[in-house]
Chains A and B, each alone.
Chain A
Amino acid sequence: MAVKTFTTGEVLTAADTNTYLANSGLDYIGAVTATSGSTIQVDNVFSANYDSYRVVVSQLRMSTTASGVNFRLRNSGGTSNASYYYGGLYLSAYGNTTVNATTSANASSIDMNTVGGTTDSGFAFDIFGPFVTQRTTLTMTGSDCRTAGAPRMSLTGFHDVSTSYTGFDLILTQTIASAKVRIYGYRQA
């Protein structure tokens, strides 16, 4: 349905409401806040309700030093930690046009991101088809607040196995001070 403008006093019917809900962009699925540890495990967020998802990670800070972030799919059988992951993570610094790349190939996880120590970081990724029995692809963009190093990041990657997954792990190399992870599904009309 194209955008419809309702007028003052007009009755909003159940049909209109349901149509607009069906055509809405993102459905909130759930959220988790972490204040310690180095891994965030998210279970039972992917389902037959959606083909694609957006995961937003905000207010991400480490306790002390900068950290890497790796991504891995999981389902009821545990994590998919065999050598099925491929990815290209591209990093650049302010005032420097050089782009550094970190690649994952036949890896047990994807090098997804970096977090600049105690400064705030944020990133979001779209993941396509994790629940359906086909290969899963994803894209990520993110930044942290470092004025040095390589705080601007983007990634494309995929998991090279046609299997259904219901969740994921974010595996950090250092201790988390704070992190908020929100998961949304792309609504399907």
Chain B
Amino acid sequence: MNDNDIATVYDASTGQTTTRPLTGEELAEREENRHKFAEEASKE
């Protein structure tokens, strides 16, 4: 796992900030979002 593959998690009920690994579903979605973002950015 690299530093890119984590989520920073803040819980206001405790005031604590932690990290967790991104799930497989989240990683797949990020790849999909990257492609979509690249397509949109090319229109700017």
Co-complex (A, B): yes
Chain A residues at the B interface, C-beta cutoff of 8 Å: 29-34, 36-45, 63, 66-68, 70, 91, 93, 100, 102, 108, 111, 114, 149-150, 167, 169, 171, 173-176, 181, 183
State which of A39, A45, A68, A70 has its C-beta within 8 Å of the C-beta of B7: A39
Instruction: Determine which of B5, B11, B36 lies in contact with A43 in the assembled complex, contact meaning CB atoms within 8 Å.
Output: B11
Give the chain B neighbours of A100 by CB distance below 8 A. 40, 43-44
Q: Which residues of B contact A (CB under 8 A)?
A: 3-13, 15, 17, 19-20, 22, 26, 29-30, 33-34, 36-37, 40-41, 43-44
A181, closest chain B residue (CB): B10
Residues of A close to B5: CB separation below 8 A: 37-38
B37 touches which of A33, A42, A45, A68 (Cβ 8 Å)? A68
Number of cross-chain contacts by CB at 8 Å: 94
* Bound CA–CA A44/B3 (angstroms): 25
**Top 3 closest A-B pairs, CB basis?**
A32-B10, A68-B37, A39-B7
The answer, among B3, B7, B43, for a CB contact under 8 Å with A41, is B7
- Contact residues of B: prevailing secondary structure: mixed
Are A44 and B13 within 8 A (Cβ)? yes
State which of B30, B36, B43 has its C-beta within 8 Å of the C-beta of A38.
B30
B4 touches A37 (CB 8 A): yes
Given A37-B3, A43-B10, verify A32-B17 contact (CB < 8 Å): yes
CB distance from B1 to the nearest CB of A (A): 10
